[in-house]
A and B are shown apart, each in its own frame.
Chain A
Amino acid sequence: MSEARVIPLHVDDAGARRRWRLGGPQDDRPAPEPEPVPSEPEPEPGAELDELIEFAKRRLGGDYTVDDFGFDRDLTDSVLLPALRPLYRSWFRVETIGMHNVPGEGGALVVANHSGTVPIDSLMTAVALHDDHPDHRHLRLLGADLMFRLPGIGTLARKGGATLACMPDAERLMSRGELVGVWPEGFKGIGKPFHDRYKLQRFGRGGFVSAALRTGVPIIPCAIVGAEEIYPKIGDIQPLARLFGAPYFPVTPTFPLLGPLGLVPLPSKWYIEFGTPIPTDSIGPAAADDPMTVFNLTDQVRETIQHTLYRLLAQRRNAFTG
């Protein structure tokens, strides 16, 4: 009899549904449940499978869009970035610093130091800006033409948002409000011997600065520490490099000595620091044709990155434990 009196009271304060729920502990929870991350669906059994099947159907039916540059957002978010994530999280344990310096929207140019024999540093920066940035930005990389000549790699690079490092493409991307990443040292930086580690090479011809000036987007200096140690390049077999048409044929302590095992990068601890943005809209697009302004700005970016590198290196105790 007393129970019969209790039921209507619960219905009145909208708690009727609770009584039909199974189990006691769930009764306490319904209020906070919808709050944590509304975008992430509840891990229902079969939801993951549904998602996978939906993805497979989209891919098989060709039902996705790519932009003019060949950037396939669907593939990047579902396959390319998840494939790099273990490397980012567990292998290199990348820590990002100064992510607030990267704008949440609008064009910007991330300029970073290049190292590591194989351009993994640019991939990791792309993962960092997607995973650790609150707005999950996609970094549009500017790559060398050699990359686009290679079968497989060139195609994947385009699908992942990369395009050829040339003035028209850079300007087009930045004026569309994309976040563009450039490694102006190029092969001089990535292929430098291990004893030159963390010494910035010449910053190209400053083309990236004129592109930023023309489009008026901020330049964000970015320092990457840890990438130098993944494949310590202690030698270079030039005849082999010439044979393959590559800029260098690296010799590391493990490659080619251990064969394919030597391709495993050493698990160094990485830090990626984004510095204070350098505004270019106050200088004006006319300055893009003034070589002195361009050189000075290039030097400023280069010095900023070099100093950040030294500071991060001074703070680092060990290359592998951080």
Chain B
Amino acid sequence: MTPSVVLVTGVSRFLGGHLAARLAANPDIDRVLGVDTVPPPRDLLRRMGRAEFVRADIRNPLIAKVISHAGVDTVVHASVSANPGSSGGRTAMKEMNVIGTMQLLAACQKAPSVRRVVLKSTTAVYGSSPRDPALFDESMTPKDLPSGGYAKDAAEIEGYLRGFARRRPDVSVTVLRFANFIGPRIDTVFTRYFALPVVPTVLGYDARVQLLHEEDALAVLERSASQEIPGVFNVAADGVLLLSQAIRRAGRVPLPVPRSAVGPVSRVFRGARIVDFSPEQMRLLNFGRVVDNRRLREQFGFSPRWTTVQAFDDFVRGRGLHPVVGPERIESVERGVRALVGMLR
């Protein structure tokens, strides 16, 4: 069943904005409303076409008026942010994530027109610890509850959404737990991290990293907005990369940092506004996290087009990352070794 009026939150950012653009391109959808606190960048606004931008704060009860006036039937909540830096600090981020979601859900509960709610969540709700199973499926709970930051926000938001689903059983609720996004256009902590010439890693740990290409993420969001597929789904690409392997594929130089020095180093990076490392991202770099995407394939009916490796390579190519250790240098070293061995023979 195609929706007639869709509301997308967080349209000033990559996923929300491009999702609004895609939905606006679908002639079966009557209206697409994009909500955010700041207007989208000009090129994104152009892309969004006939989608209407509503400058509103979802923490404000005003959002209820927007929903009821437009007769919104599908809400895609894509504004949950993982990035304290761009959200004006951790406190503001938590406000926006948790209080914003509560207000939005309160508005949805009051609006009889709402038939479908889609939440962009994260696989961070599974935590990251050495006691984790190799792959998480949707029914598993974290071994160590996320103690703070984005992961805790996401876990709380999912809890509120479950409560909402109980109170409004007529609404179809879809929770999409996304792995870390990567791609040539999206800007995340991960893309900034891998763009550093010297990439700090945790000494003695090599996390398994699972990614998701931005286009796959958009396709999944679009599908969940235009079709009724209730449930919780892990959205992640097939296969994994080891952190060290990813750094080498990008031609970066790893800088192993002892675990005790990780805190100060990440503070330096945060302070210099290079990469915004949060503690749970550091845990992720320690132990990694891989989820099972079988339910996405079988129930949701979507197979990611990019594997983790392909998505990462697409990011490296698309960004035109200049490798610090490139194939030319490796070849020149190879020639040197061969010449040396030839001389010794």
Contacts and interface: CB of A to CB of B under 8 A. Distances in A.
B330 A69 contact: no
Contacts of A63: 249
Contacts of B287: 148
B242 A66 contact: yes
Nearest to B246: A62
B134 A61 contact: no
Which of under 10, 10 to 19, 20 to 34, or 35 or more describes the interface residues of B?
35 or more
A275 to B, nearest CB: 28
B130 A172 contact: no
A166 B140 CA distance: 13
B119 interface: no
B259 A151 contact: yes
Interface string B164-187: 000000000000000000000000
5 contacts: A62-B244, A68-B134, A70-B240, A164-B130, A168-B135
Given A65-B239, A65-B309, A168-B140, A60 B325 contact: yes
A151 B205 contact: yes
Given A65-B239, A70-B208, A163 B247 contact: no
Q: Which 5 A-B pairs have the closest CB atoms?
A: A151-B204, A62-B248, A62-B249, A148-B130, A152-B204
A68 B135 contact: yes
Interface residues of A, number: 33
Contacts of A62: 241, 244-249
Interface in A40-69: 45, 49, 53, 57, 59-69
Contacts of B341: 49
A57 B137 CA distance: 36
Contacts of A254: none
A164 B132 contact: yes
Given A57-B334, A151-B203, 9 more contacts: A53-B334, A60-B248, A60-B325, A65-B239, A72-B242, A151-B202, A151-B205, A169-B133, A172-B135
B199 to A, nearest CB: 12
A155 B256 CA distance: 14
Nearest to A67: B240
Contacts of A66: 208, 240-242, 245
B327 interface: yes
Contact of A68 (B130, B206, B239, B247): B239
A33 interface: no
The interface residues of chain B, by DSSP majority, are classed as mixed
B330 A57 contact: yes
B337 interface: yes
Interface in B221-260: 239-242, 244-249, 259
Contacts of A166: 133
B51 to A, nearest CB: 38
A68 B334 contact: no
A211 to B, nearest CB: 12
Contacts of B42: none
B69 interface: no
Interface of B: 130-135, 137, 140, 202-206, 208, 239-242, 244-249, 259, 287-288, 290, 309, 325, 327, 330, 334, 337-338, 341, 345
B130 A149 contact: yes
A76 to B, nearest CB: 13
A70 B203 contact: no
Contacts of B249: 61-63
Contact of B206 (A149, A159, A163): A159
A77 interface: no
Nearest to B288: A70
A68 B244 CA distance: 15
A172 B131 CA distance: 16
Contacts of A67: 240
A168 B294 CA distance: 14
Contacts of B244: 62
A145 interface: yes
A154 B134 contact: no
Contacts of B345: 45
Nearest to B256: A151
Nearest to A46: B341
Interface string A150-175: 11101100110001101011001000
Contact of A53 (B204, B288, B338): B338
The CB with the most chain B CB atoms within 10 A, among A62, A63, A66, is that of A62
Nearest to A147: B130
Contacts of A53: 334, 337-338
A24 to B, nearest CB: 28
